Amino acid sequence: MVLENIKMPQLGESVTEGTISNWLVQPGDHVNKYDPIAEVLTDKVNAEVPSSFTGIIKEIIAEEDETIAVGELMCTIETEQKEEVRSTDQFDNKTIEKDSAQSVELDQTDMKKRYSPAVLRLAQENDIDLSEVKGNGRAGRITRKDIEKVIADKGSGLETAPKPATKPKKPTNTIEAQNGDKEIPVTGIRKAIASNMVRSTTEIPHAWMMIEVDVTNLVKYRNAEKDLFKETEGYNLSYFAFFLNAIAKALKKFPELNSSWAGDKIIQHKDINLSIAVAHGKELFVPVIKNVDEKSIKGIAKEIAQLSQKARNGSLTQEDMKGGTFTVNNTGSFGSVQSMGVINYPQAAIIQVESIVKRPVIIDDMFAARDMVNLCLSLDHRVLDGVISGQFMSHIKEILENISGDTTPIY
Amino acid sequence: MQKVHRMPVQNQFMTSYMETKGGKMMPILSYIQAVTQAMKEEMERDEKVFVLGEDVGVRGGVFRATEGLYEQFGESRVIDTPLAESAIAGVGIGAAMYGMRPVAEMQFADFILPAVNQIISEAAKMRYRSNNDWTCPITIRAPYGGGVHGALYHSQSIEAIFANQPGLKIVMPSSPYDVKGLLKAAIRDEDPVLFLEHKRAYRSIKEEVPDTDYTLPIGKADIKREGSDITIITYGLCVQWAIQAAEKLASEGIDVHILDLRTIYPLDQEAIKQAASKTGKVLLITEDNKEGSIIGEVAAIISEHCLFDLDAPVKRLAGPDVPAMPYAPPLEKEFMINQDKIEAAIRDLAEF
């Protein structure tokens, strides 16, 4: 084994430096001569750097995004061919001929996946994934010492850290854009949404429930008031304000729903701060209306209007998004009649308010045309069970079906 | 007890002394001086002990192993024999059956072959075939091994010939301290013991040997060096080469564990299993021809019991499979085990 250096090559006339945009190999990888090892960006070209040797990548010296001069060290590689040259100086000739002939033969095949009985046993007993262990033996073979080191490190918690770091890399490699596909980089809000959703669905055991509510009275009441309201206040009297009002009242009665999972305990919140989902363009914001239970229909409608406005012109602040204890999603606004929401982590539940649809309903053995709406609840089954959630939903139904100027004044 | 390996010194026949930590004087003995001292002490302790062999009397042995014994104990207990190895063994066996404690010397191990019938068919089987009525407490000493320009008939390793004869014990010590303790134990043993001394070690290996009466257990291997990377299992003079190679490689970060078999028949199986399992990379060394040697049996024990601790194929370093140790110095050097060969083999295993 001879350690060789791979240096930044001259990637074009007058090119003096290059930026490593992407390493294509990792330490421990076996590469053949001329295999690409890194992508490099220079001011003239965007090129792949080929390996000058066959061997095992030992150490990556230049980091990604680092700009280094031509001739500077990029990485080191342990080559296989030159064994004889070195060993002949050290031992007497005859032993060497035998020994090196044997080792060259071994080195030609990658030993990374040739496991000795001891290595297999230790890996099995200690639940170690051998594909993630770096081999320090000949031609990358994992030795018993390597495994024993992993076991020792595992005990002190060192091993757990690198594991998740290597895993997410794999799936990104498996999907590749075909001709004509458009690649959209995942950045900013999309990235945040993605990681929140992954966290919520992987961590929270979701359960779902849907109830059907007859909101004929609400529709009548709101239709009677909306024009005057718009005229006097300058913004819409939306159905959503009534739903938020009803949900806040129900949360007051069932504070269990207004809580968060905190690992060893459940935190029940005193304030009722409703996160509302507001879509804008390709993005989704979840601003918060605070203390909804203390606000009139008008007050709620006003805040909805303000937050929507802010979302549209992109002036929502971090302050607007903070402190939510329960989420209400107005899925009905785009015509949905049923959906299964993903809980807004770390809250305990989310309600999706669906479209209000006129449907024939049987009342007193007669058909009647009624305004119907579905409310879909997703709940964190660690915090909540079916019974309490059912009572909560029934209570909302009762409030909504009995809405009138008397029970729910606008001002 | 601290064991010190010394390089050969000029005045090889004199007992020298060195200061020890406790301030007490402890003599430095060569390998052959330890042989002499063990016999002398046993002859003083037990009048049934006597030695017989070619030129062991007035001459004091061709290697001087019995030097001074004739003068001290007289011709009736230090007996010169004719050049007839079969008779030396046979007389000894007969005397042993009559309750004596003979120490029979073969001048060279190469010459033991005429005595094979006596040793294997009589001595080794005595207790078994007489249903425990008779025993045969004989010790047969023989200098073996090469590296002394002894050529074909003065360099052989003959242990494998005797090493599958239940009833016979074969002891092959690696150091003066072990020689004294094991030879005294062999003389006191109720059954026949073949005691093989490496002739190259006679005057090249020296260490502190207490002048007190002590024995070492026959059938027990000894850890000569603790290590965690590579296990070497060997015996006799090769132990010394292995220790030197290990000390050198320690500075390169290769930590070698050395097990000295000491008794090569019957083998100390527990010690072999433990030593092999400790590192999972095993190097077996013998000066004997590779095929059919003792270390093949050691390898078999390891493969029977230690499969799931092995991290590399068991490696054997041995003499070539040629009929005898050549006389030509370059060929003799090629045949012999040495520190460089062991170093190369350790490196190869360490890299694996």
Say what the pLDDT of residue A253 is.
93
Say what the pLDDT of residue A33 is.
86
Contact of B247 with B346, CB cutoff 8 Å: no
Asked which of A152-156, A261-265, A291-295, B240-244 is least confident by mean pLDDT, the reply is A152-156
Say what the pLDDT of residue B83 is.
96
Say what the pLDDT of residue B181 is.
97
B133 or A131, higher pLDDT: B133
Say what the pLDDT of residue A15 is.
67
As a whole number of angstroms, the distance between CA B169 and CA B162 comes to: 9
**Of A99, A127, A381, A406, catalytic:** A381
Averaged pLDDT for residues B241-256: 95
A184 or A337, higher pLDDT: A337
Res. A97: pLDDT tops 50 = no
CATH number of the domain located at residue range(s) B222-351 in this protein: 3.40.50.920
Q: Please report where in the chains the tokens 């004869």 appear, as a residue.
A: B165
A310 or B61, higher pLDDT: B61
| Residue among B280, B229, B284 nearest B257 (CA) | B229
Averaged pLDDT for residues A49-76: 86
Averaged pLDDT for residues A140-168: 68
Contact of B237 with B201, CB cutoff 8 Å: yes
Asked which of A89-98, A185-194, B79-88 is least confident by mean pLDDT, the reply is A89-98
pLDDT in tens, A356-402: 999 999 988 999 999 999 999 999 998 998 899 999 999 999 999 99
To the nearest 5 percent, what fractions of chain A are helix, strand and coil? 40, 25, 35
Identify each DSSP E strand in A13-149 by its residue range: 17-23, 30-31, 36-41, 46-50, 55-60, 67-69, 73-79
Interface test with B, best of A98, A144, A148 (most B CBs within 10 A): A144
Percentage of residues in chain A having pLDDT higher than 90? 36
Contact of A248 with A302, CB cutoff 8 Å: no
Res. A289: pLDDT tops 90 = yes
- H or E, element range at B231: strand B230-234
Averaged pLDDT for residues B4-14: 41
Active-site positions of B?
154
Does B352 reach chain A within 8 Å, measured CB to CB? yes
Contact of B321 with B291, CB cutoff 8 Å: yes
Partner residues linked to B74 by β-bridges: none
Tell me if B352 and A141 make a contact (CB, 8 A cut-off). yes
As a whole number of angstroms, the distance between CA B336 and CA A275 comes to: 86
Confidence of residue A44 (pLDDT cuts 50, 70, 90): low
Strand order across the B230-234 sheet: B222-225, B256-260, B230-234, B282-289, B315-319
As a whole number of angstroms, the distance between CA A8 and CA A302 comes to: 62
Say what the pLDDT of residue A158 is.
46
Interface test with A, best of B308, B337, B341 (most A CBs within 10 A): B308
Residue of A nearest to B317 (CA): A95
Say what the pLDDT of residue A280 is.
73
β-pairing, B16-19 vs B25-30, is antiparallel
To the nearest 5 percent, what fractions of chain B are helix, strand and coil? 40, 20, 40
Q: Please report where in the chains the tokens 């709940």 appear, as a residue.
A: A379
pLDDT in tens, A102-114: 444 445 457 888 8
**B351 neighbourhood in chain A, CB within 8 Å:** 1, 103, 137-138
Asked which of A132-146, B40-54, B136-150, B265-279 is least confident by mean pLDDT, the reply is A132-146
A 68-127 → B contacts, CB under 8 A: 87, 91-92, 94-96, 99, 102-103, 116-121
Question: What DSSP string runs through B155-211?
Answer: S---HHHHTT-TT-EEE---SHHHHHHHHHHHHH-SS-EEEEEETTHHHH-EEE--S
Asked which of A13-27, A124-138, B306-320 is least confident by mean pLDDT, the reply is A13-27
Rounded to two decimals, the ipTM of the complex is 0.79
Tell me if A1 and B351 make a contact (CB, 8 A cut-off). yes
As a whole number of angstroms, the distance between CA A239 and CA A175 comes to: 43
Confidence of residue B8 (pLDDT cuts 50, 70, 90): very low
Across the interface, of B311, B340, B352, the residue whose CB is closest to A92 is B340
- Give the number of other Cβ atoms within 10 Å of residue A136's Cβ: 15
Res. B333: pLDDT tops 80 = yes
Say what the pLDDT of residue A174 is.
60
Confidence of residue A43 (pLDDT cuts 50, 70, 90): low
Asked which of A207-221, B126-140, B255-269 is least confident by mean pLDDT, the reply is A207-221
Contact of B295 with B262, CB cutoff 8 Å: no
As a whole number of angstroms, the distance between CA A28 and CA A78 comes to: 9
> Side-chain half-sphere of A164: how many Cα atoms within 13 Å?
3
Across the interface, of B309, B341, B351, the residue whose CB is closest to A138 is B351
Asked which of A164-168, A202-206, B155-159 is least confident by mean pLDDT, the reply is A164-168
As a whole number of angstroms, the distance between CA A370 and CA A357 comes to: 8
Partner residues linked to A17 by β-bridges: A69
How is residue B19 written in tokens?
A: 């200061």
Tell me if A118 and B310 make a contact (CB, 8 A cut-off). yes
Strand order across the A274-276 sheet: A206-214, A366-380, A349-363, A326-329, A274-276, A288-289
Averaged pLDDT for residues A279-296: 84
Across the interface, of B341, B343, B351, the residue whose CB is closest to A137 is B351
Interface test with B, best of A2, A78, A92 (most B CBs within 10 A): A92
Across the interface, of A1, A118, A141, the residue whose CB is closest to B309 is A118
Task: Measure A164 CA to nearest chain B CA, in Å.
Answer: 29
Tell me if B352 and A138 make a contact (CB, 8 A cut-off). yes
Averaged pLDDT for residues B154-172: 97
Say what the pLDDT of residue B108 is.
96
Please state, in angstroms and as integers, the Cα–Cα distance from residue A275 to each residue in A193, A281, A290, following that order.
Answer: 15, 19, 8
Domain boundaries, chain B: 16-208, 222-351
Say what the pLDDT of residue A89 is.
45
- B16-208 and B222-351 share one fold: yes
Percentage of residues in chain B having pLDDT higher than 70? 93
**Of A320, A385, A395, A406, catalytic:** A385
Say what the pLDDT of residue A157 is.
47
Averaged pLDDT for residues B116-128: 97
What domains sit in chain A, N to C, each tagged with a CATH number?
A: 2-79 (2.40.50.100), 109-171 (4.10.320.10), 205-401 (3.30.559.10)
Confidence of residue A171 (pLDDT cuts 50, 70, 90): very low
Averaged pLDDT for residues B142-159: 95
As a whole number of angstroms, the distance between CA B218 and CA B268 comes to: 9
Say what the pLDDT of residue B228 is.
95
Say what the pLDDT of residue B19 is.
45
Say what the pLDDT of residue A90 is.
45
A155 or B26, higher pLDDT: B26
Overall CATH class of domain B16-208:
alpha beta
Asked which of A132-136, B275-279, B322-326 is least confident by mean pLDDT, the reply is A132-136
